[in-house]
Structure 1
Amino acid sequence: MSLTASLDASAVTVVPGEETTLPLQILNSGRTVEEYHFEVVGACAAYTAVEPAVLSLYPGDSGSVSVMMRPPRDSTVLAGETTFGVRVTPAGDRGETVVPEGRVTVLPFTETTAELVPRSSNGSRGGRHQFAVDNRGNVPVTVRLGARPGTEQARVVFAASELRIEPGHAEFAKLRVRPAKRMWRGTPVTHAFQVFAAPEPPEGEEPPPPVLVDGSYQQDPILPRWLPRALITAALLVLALVGLWYALLRPAVKSAAREAVTPEAVRSAAAADRSKAPEEGGQGGADPGGSASAGTGPGGGSGGATPSPGPSASGATGGSGSGGGTGGGAPTSAQARVQDAVGGGANTGTALTVPAGQTFQLTDIVVQNPQGDAGTVTVTAGEDTRVLSLGLENFRDSDYHFVTPILVPAGGKVTMTIDCRRIGKPVGAPAPSRCATSMFLGGTMRPDATD
């Protein structure tokens, strides 16, 4: 063989990011001039080159080339030992190719970077972040995680205290910032803090400085700013609905209720009460315990009482006669409307006068104050029986039903007296000049018993 190639050293140590040179000796023991080509094989071929790449030697001459190793300082070249070779190929006789071999050891290095995602957070109860740590060295690394709160008003808590990261990889650690005190209302407060990743160094090396990252957390109040405005708006809406009810809906409901109180409704109610009450008395006698509806009678008085149409006294007497002296009676109703001016004294109106030979059994009274006047109203039956005494300002419509009828003898009157103190103001109507109160009564007109 006319070619001899050998490395000056069979083992070499390289530092990532630096250049290392290893000489290669070539001897041409042939008889002709030869040109030699060089090629590095093995794991280090990506960062190794031979200079010069081509060498020509005369017969019997020797020469050397330099094997230049330039491993990059990144995670693509892992730390550790590997073999390599340099293929030397003669241009004239490729069959005489030789490959001298050696060992290369790449030294370890540590390099880490970190990032806080997101850099700022906000919330009323705490902020959430992720701490991303990237291993850019050529050996696995274990990093210790920690925090340095900027103030005592917040603390930082990691989900894990350390991370192990392979070369060229990144790992994420969750962390949460918690305020020391809750804030119910007020201006948001910003809390600054620092988190760090401290890598453990390779054996025999000094520890590298920790990687520091700044962050911030904005503590928001628990009660949002718009809550007071929302409460005020809700209160105003409730007040508006209440005002709408009293201004429009309530008068309409009361008006419908007043219109529903008719003489026919009172007579129907009286008939229902009479059907439930037990009958008393015998043939030819009056029934003092019976319930009655209303009847008419002559009404009059200075107050302008107006009797309603209904059976007259003579009609009631005639009904008794046709019954042959039994205890039957005629339903009778009447009404009166009394007006009175302020300061003019009381005014009285008569709703019913009982005819001779008859007894009126009063069972139902409906009193109405449609204008909302203020004053007093008194209802009397007979000479000295005061049935009702009411304050006008306490009601608009009021009805009364008596299980035991109030007896009004022949010649007796049912009257209503009002004393006006303040004239009311009805909704949607012209202002009146006088107080006005009406009464509707019902009962039974029975003939007096005869021997």
Structure 2
Amino acid sequence: MGVGAVLRVAAVTVDPGSDARCHVLIRNNGAVVDQFRFAVLGEARDWTVVKPERANLMPAQEVTVELTFSPPRGHEVLAGEYPFAVQVASREDPGGSVVQEGLVTVTEYAELSAELVPVNSSGARRGKHTLALDNLGNVEHSVDVRAADPDDKLTFTGRPKVPVLRPGTTTFVKLRARPRKYFWRGADRTWPFTVTVLSELTDPVDLDATFRQRPMLPRRTFLIFSLLIMLLMVLAVLLSTLLRAAPKTMAGPSPSIPLTSTSASSSASPSSTVSATSSAPSITPAAPTPTAAGVGGQGASAVRLVPATTTRLTISGTAYPGVSGPQLFSYVVPSGRTYRLTGLELANPGGDRGSVRVSLGNTQLAAYDLATTRQVSRELAGSVTAGGGQVITMAVTCANTDRPCTPTTTITAQQAS
């Protein structure tokens, strides 16, 4: 073997933030001048310094290598034992390199930081605080959190009850301060208290805080209650007015149809009148042909116009992209009503992309491409009638990528008499 190495002290103890040293005796057992390089292996190599890092030795010459262990003061290096090894590599005889093993022990170092957020809390039933505990040391340990007020007006609870602090981490404790007695009205009451953090490894940490107790009934409760009563009264009056309003009809009175003919000449004899009456056929009333108001004639009676009732049926909805198949939005014709559909209008205010299809039952009324349509109107050809219980459907296929589609279909209809 070309080199010999002896670790004079195999076990070393060092405090965080300080230094500890040990020495290795290196001897050239070869017959030629050789160069040796020294390195530390293991977890301790990051905070260990080797002096010198290399040495040239004559045959039978010796050199002492110093190892300096300097663990930082903090949570970066935990307390405990760290095995290490010193490797001595020969340039002339690489296969003859040697390794000496040792053990360095890092002692415990505890440092605790505590902060209470918020410092001042308020409430009628409880105050909420969060205690942040920072373990700045290199050892895990538990603490005891206690809180007390000088007047004994409060009770305290904390979660977790016994927090365990790990090195380099922050532990949060939920602290609740509750008054022993509540009050309904009056001025706020302020209760100071102190939070104490106890640990076997560190000195106690005291934090001052305040809980401001509020009354159970806020000061504006009666004002809000009065406003609610007034609002309810206004709603009741409006609802009563709407319910009492009589429905109005735009249709005129039913026209009367004469059942007998008037004699063409006032000089006709009674016998001829009776004969004409007896020989006249029975007349079945039919839908009269309206005439202009104020126009009359022999053998005809005046008939009032029945104005058409125009209704706008609106179908709108929000269709979402990425949905398989069209999304349906519908209008159901109320029972007992019949509409004649005359026109259709599509509005695309958002400039959406996709398609819209409007149908009455299984009959398609219109189809549009949203990408080329912002607002379009059209008349419905023919006589399209929707009776009570029938469904007018707007089927929307949304092709947007970043937002829903919001088309609106408005149908112009006349209520059939």
TM-score normalised according to structure 1 size: 0.47
Residue 177 of structure 2 corresponds to which residue in structure 1? Answer: 177
For 1:196 and 1:132, locate their aligned partners in 2 and report how far apart those are by CA, in whole Å: 13
Give 1:85 shift: 0.5
For 2:129 and 2:151, locate their aligned partners in 1 and report how far apart those are by CA, in whole Å: 18
1:119-172 CA-to-partner distances (Å, cap 9, x unmatched) read 432211111223333333333312112113254333323345422334344433
The worse-fitting range, judged by mean Cα deviation, of 79-88 and 148-157 is: 148-157
1:34-433 alignment runs, 5 A limit: 34-149=34-149, 151-201=151-201, 208-231=202-225, 233=227
Give 1:236 shift: 7.1
For 1:33 and 1:89, locate their aligned partners in 2 and report how far apart those are by CA, in whole Å: 14
TM-score normalised according to structure 2 size: 0.51
Residue 10 of structure 1 corresponds to which residue in structure 2? Answer: 10
For 2:224 and 2:164, locate their aligned partners in 1 and report how far apart those are by CA, in whole Å: 51
SS of 1:100's equivalent in the other structure is strand
Is 1:26 aligned to residue 19 of structure 2? no
Q: Which has the higher helix share?
A: 1
Residue 384 of structure 1 corresponds to which residue in structure 2? Answer: none
Which amino acid in structure 1 is aligned with residue 105 of structure 2? T
Give 1:240 shift: 9.4
Structure with bigger gyration radius: 1
1:312-334 CA-to-partner distances (Å, cap 9, x unmatched) read xxxxxxxxxxxxxxxxxxxxxxx
- Cα 1:90/1:223, change in 2 over 3 Å: same
Percent identity (aligned): 36
- Cα 1:153/1:90, change in 2 over 3 Å: same
- Do 1:149 and 1:156's aligned partners in 2 also have CA atoms closer than 8 Å? no
Give 1:13 shift: 0.9
SS of 2:221's equivalent in the other structure is helix
Give 1:191 shift: 2.8
Residue 401 of structure 1 corresponds to which residue in structure 2? Answer: none
Give 1:69 shift: 0.5
For 1:161 and 1:236, locate their aligned partners in 2 and report how far apart those are by CA, in whole Å: 50
- Do 2:160 and 2:173's aligned partners in 1 also have CA atoms closer than 8 Å? yes
Give 1:199 shift: 1.4
Which amino acid in structure 1 is aligned with residue 193 of structure 2? F
User: Structure 1 regions of 5+ residues with no counterpart?
Assistant: 202-207, 254-451
For 1:225 and 1:9, locate their aligned partners in 2 and report how far apart those are by CA, in whole Å: 77
- Cα 1:86/1:188, change in 2 over 3 Å: same
For 1:142 and 1:239, locate their aligned partners in 2 and report how far apart those are by CA, in whole Å: 62
1:10-45 CA-to-partner distances (Å, cap 9, x unmatched) read 111111221111112112233433222111112212
1:78-107 CA-to-partner distances (Å, cap 9, x unmatched) read 322232101111233322211111122222
- Do 1:146 and 1:161's aligned partners in 2 also have CA atoms closer than 8 Å? no
Which amino acid in structure 1 is aligned with residue 88 of structure 2? V
Give 1:237 shift: 7.4
Give 1:176 shift: 1.1
For 1:59 and 1:241, locate their aligned partners in 2 and report how far apart those are by CA, in whole Å: 110
- Cα 1:16/1:241, change in 2 over 3 Å: closer
- Cα 1:193/1:3, change in 2 over 3 Å: same
1:48-85 CA-to-partner distances (Å, cap 9, x unmatched) read 12122222223332211210101122233232223210
Residue 317 of structure 1 corresponds to which residue in structure 2? Answer: none
For 1:218 and 1:46, locate their aligned partners in 2 and report how far apart those are by CA, in whole Å: 52
SS of 1:44's equivalent in the other structure is helix
- Do 2:116 and 2:207's aligned partners in 1 also have CA atoms closer than 8 Å? yes
SS of 2:203's equivalent in the other structure is coil
- Cα 1:128/1:237, change in 2 over 3 Å: closer
- Cα 1:90/1:227, change in 2 over 3 Å: same
- Do 2:2 and 2:90's aligned partners in 1 also have CA atoms closer than 8 Å? no
For 1:153 and 1:216, locate their aligned partners in 2 and report how far apart those are by CA, in whole Å: 12
For 2:77 and 2:231, locate their aligned partners in 1 and report how far apart those are by CA, in whole Å: 73
- Cα 1:43/1:236, change in 2 over 3 Å: closer
1:421-446 CA-to-partner distances (Å, cap 9, x unmatched) read xxxxxxxxxxxxxxxxxxxxxxxxxx
Residue 310 of structure 2 corresponds to which residue in structure 1? Answer: none
For 2:140 and 2:227, locate their aligned partners in 1 and report how far apart those are by CA, in whole Å: 62
For 2:235 and 2:157, locate their aligned partners in 1 and report how far apart those are by CA, in whole Å: 51
For 1:159 and 1:168, locate their aligned partners in 2 and report how far apart those are by CA, in whole Å: 21
- Do 1:147 and 1:193's aligned partners in 2 also have CA atoms closer than 8 Å? yes
Which amino acid in structure 1 is aligned with residue 204 of structure 2? P
1:346-385 CA-to-partner distances (Å, cap 9, x unmatched) read xxxxxxxxxxxxxxxxxxxxxxxxxxxxxxxxxxxxxxxx
SS of 1:167's equivalent in the other structure is coil
Which amino acid in structure 2 is aligned with residue 64 of structure 1? T
- Do 1:133 and 1:197's aligned partners in 2 also have CA atoms closer than 8 Å? no
Give 1:183 shift: 3.3
1:403-435 CA-to-partner distances (Å, cap 9, x unmatched) read xxxxxxxxxxxxxxxxxxxxxxxxxxxxxxxxx
- Cα 1:233/1:43, change in 2 over 3 Å: closer
Give 1:177 shift: 0.4
- Do 2:12 and 2:21's aligned partners in 1 also have CA atoms closer than 8 Å? no
- Cα 1:239/1:143, change in 2 over 3 Å: closer
Residue 313 of structure 2 corresponds to which residue in structure 1? Answer: none
